[in-house]
């Protein structure tokens, strides 16, 4: 089976393919944009795609999510995986003083302290793999490429420093998309979009009541304003359970009774490994707590 990804080979999207349950039976097909990936899946029965949807530094990628919500009707989420990577520094010759650092703009931002400490001039690349390839093609011993270990070593570059990010690692959640709903596994999530017919006070409270009534846990909710209807929102909700579970079926019936429309984005196996989380380990600065609260 073909699975489309944002190419070329060597990108983080390509590396995420190795985490899929059936990756050994898939034939990767590189695409020039994420929109091409989604469109190909939408119009090609039997084709899969992989797209990033959330990372630990920027949160939800709403541009991609909006495409799934508003622009396509045949695309379903079939699986989720989380890629966690550490960024290292590589070069041709570690004995030569470096003056330039090359990598994807996001990676450069995440390694700002290392770049400043080394007084390096930055250059952008389309991917970490391209950064490594550029150093080889230019035969430039004064340049450093920032990339995951597996990428730097695949190009035969020398390790200069390991763990050069300002945070311990970067985690990205990927959705595998297709045209069919995945079968139940017993540990699943369901992604839906709920749109109230009218913008009224108390709608979210009613939604929360319906979830509690049916014993379904809500993992995530994100509101997206609708430009066509000033003051009206749709809500992307991720919940525990599969669309075929009795409790989820009852939940959907009750949500419809709230005078709302529902779009199903998919039911899929829940990722069981390391999850996406903010790089902060403490409460938000400025938070207040109740003094003398009893437990």
Question: Could you tell me if 191 and 158 lie in one domain?
Answer: no
Among the candidates 134, 158, 180, a domain finishes at 180
Region of residue 129 (phi > 0: left; psi between -120 and 50: alpha; otherwise: beta): alpha
Q: Give the helix/strand (H/E) hosting 37.
A: helix 34-43
Question: Could you tell me if 77 and 97 lie in one domain?
Answer: no
Question: Could you tell me if 120 and 53 lie in one domain?
Answer: no
- Structure confidence at residue 42 (pLDDT): 94
Question: Could you tell me if 144 and 108 lie in one domain?
Answer: yes
Q: Are 267 and 189 in contact (CB under 8 A)?
A: yes
Question: Could you tell me if 174 and 49 lie in one domain?
Answer: yes
Please provide residue 267's backbone torsions phi and psi, each rounded to the nearest 5 degrees.
Answer: -120, 135
Assigned domain for 193 exists = yes
State the CATH number of the domain containing residue 164: 3.40.190.10
pLDDT tens digit at each of 295 positions of the chain: 899 999 888 788 999 999 998 777 889 999 999 999 999 999 999 899 999 999 888 888 999 999 999 999 899 999 999 999 899 999 999 999 999 999 999 899 989 999 999 999 999 998 898 999 999 999 999 999 999 998 999 999 999 999 999 888 889 999 999 999 999 999 999 999 999 987 778 899 999 999 999 999 999 999 988 876 556 889 999 999 999 999 999 999 999 999 899 999 999 999 998 888 877 777 888 888 887 655 4
- Structure confidence at residue 277 (pLDDT): 80
Question: Could you tell me if 47 and 174 lie in one domain?
Answer: yes
- Structure confidence at residue 230 (pLDDT): 58
Question: Could you tell me if 140 and 251 lie in one domain?
Answer: no
Q: Give the helix/strand (H/E) hosting 262.
A: strand 260-269
Nearest alpha carbon to residue 118 among 96, 140, 150:
96
Question: Could you tell me if 46 and 174 lie in one domain?
Answer: yes
Q: Name the strands in the sheet holding 87-91, side by side, starting at the edge strand that comes first in the sequence.
A: 121-124, 100-103, 143-148, 87-91, 158-161
Counting the structural domains of the chain, the total is: 3
CB-hemisphere CA count at 13 Å for 241?
19
Assigned domain for 282 exists = no
Q: What range does the domain containing 235 cover?
A: 182-270
Assigned domain for 50 exists = yes
């Amino acid at each position: 089976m073909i699975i489309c990804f944002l190419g070329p080979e060597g990108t983080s999207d390509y590396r995420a393919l190795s985490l899929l349950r059936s990756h050994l039976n898939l034939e990767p097909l590189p695409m020039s944009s994420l929109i091409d990936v989604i469109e190909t899946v939408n119009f090609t029965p039997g084709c899969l795609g992989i797209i990033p949807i959330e990372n630990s530094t920027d949160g939800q990628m709403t541009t991609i999510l909006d495409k799934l919500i508003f622009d396509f009707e045949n695309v379903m989420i079939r699986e989720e995986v989380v890629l966690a990577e550490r960024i290292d520094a590589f070069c041709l010759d570690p004995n030569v003083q470096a003056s330039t650092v090359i990598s994807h703009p996001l990676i450069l931002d995440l390694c700002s302290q290392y770049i400043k400490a080394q007084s390096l001039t930055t250059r952008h690349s389309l991917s970490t793999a391209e950064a490594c390839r550029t150093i080889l093609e230019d035969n430039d011993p004064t340049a450093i490429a920032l990339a995951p270990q597996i990428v730097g070593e695949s190009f035969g570059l020398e390790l200069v420093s390991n763990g050069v990010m300002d945070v311990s690692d970067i985690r990205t959640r990927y959705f595998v998309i297709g045209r069919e709903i995945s079968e139940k596994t017993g540990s699943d999530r369901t992604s839906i979009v709920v749109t109230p017919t009218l913008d009224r006070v108390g709608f979210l409270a009613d939604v929360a009541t319906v979830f509690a009534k049916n014993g379904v846990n809500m993992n995530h909710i994100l509101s997206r304003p609708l430009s066509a209807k000033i003051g009206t929102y749709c809500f992307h909700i991720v919940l525990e359970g599969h669309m075929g579970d009795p409790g989820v079926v009852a939940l959907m019936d009750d949500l419809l009774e709230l005078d709302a429309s529902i779009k199903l984005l998919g039911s899929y196996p829940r990722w069981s490994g390391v999850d996406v989380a903010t790089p902060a380990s403490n409460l938000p600065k400025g938070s207040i707590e109740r003094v003398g609260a009893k437990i």
